[in-house]
Amino acid sequence: MKIIKTVNVEKIYTSFDVDTVALNKVNLEVEQGEFVSIMGPSGCGKSTLLNLISLMDLPTRGEVFFMEQSTSKMTDKKRAEFRRKYIGFVFQNFNLIEELSVYENIELPLVYLHLPPSERAQRVKTAMERLDVAHKQKFFPMQLSGGHQQRVAVARAIVASPMVLFADEPTGNLDSKHGQEVMEILSELNEAGTTIVMVTHSAANAEYANRIIQLFDGQIATGKVNQYSL
């Protein structure tokens, strides 16, 4: 199944009457089970593309298909439901909610899925064990190191067993050791069947993917598989 498919997607930001073409006629397909890295210089539209395919934002023109369904006519509510059910997120700056403990942060997506408490407890436990953060469950984000925060963020992203995991520079705020750890985890997840779309700056990290997409000035440069060149 094609989890993601974009057809001539364009995104134009208008601010102060100046149009910025962030994406220009992007056509992209991601198959279930793939691990895709998106690379490109700063400001070329990587995050914008990720926003569109993760149903956080709407394209100015063109069409985004998610799980082979057209998303342009979906309501805000419907897209939120899709995010909740099928999508997990990992951010560069972790984006954990500071007022919630590790446990509660990980539990949050399940809360929005309205799962019963017993099931939530079970799933959170599994996710925590998988990312080895169970011993920190009572801590608050501020009390954790960056590496641990990102582990918690990943745990939160996968706790609801999403079909796709989107990661926007997940290692950008981590030192190389912790960065590598996170990449290992993503790789494992992919092997276990989760589709992953990751934005990264690091060539080394991009190598974990089966496919690298190069973005320049809002356009996909080449579709070279597993080859990295700049």
Ligand X SMILES: Nc1ncnc2c1ncn2[C@@H]1O[C@H](COP(=O)(O)OP(=O)(O)O)[C@@H](O)[C@H]1O
Contacts with other proteins by CB under 8 A lie at 47-48, 50-51, 54, 56-57, 76-77, 80-85, 87, 89, 91-93, 95-100, 104, 107-109, 111-114, 156, 168
Residue closer to other proteins by CB (options 43, 223) is: 43
> How many residues line the site for ligand X (CB under 6 A)?
12
Q: Is the Cβ–Cβ distance between 86 and 67 less than 8 Å?
A: yes
Determine if 167 is a binding residue for ligand X (CB under 6 A).
no
Interface mask toward ligand X for 25-54; x: CB under 6 A: ---------------x-xxxxxxx------
Residue closer to other proteins by CB (options 31, 81) is: 81
CB of 49 to ligand X, least distance (A): 7
Determine if 212 is a binding residue for ligand X (CB under 6 A).
no
> How many residues line the site for Mg ion (CB under 5 A)?
1
Q: Work out which of 6, 37, 47, 190 binds Mg ion, going by CB under 5 A.
A: 47
Indicate the burial class of 31 (C-beta count within 10 angstroms; 0-12, 13-18, 19 or more). Answer: middle
Residue closer to Mg ion by CB (options 93, 145) is: 93
Residue closer to ligand X by CB (options 39, 133) is: 39
CB of 167 to ligand X, least distance (A): 13
Determine if 93 is a binding residue for ligand X (CB under 6 A).
no
Q: Which residues bind Mg ion (CB under 5 A)?
A: 47
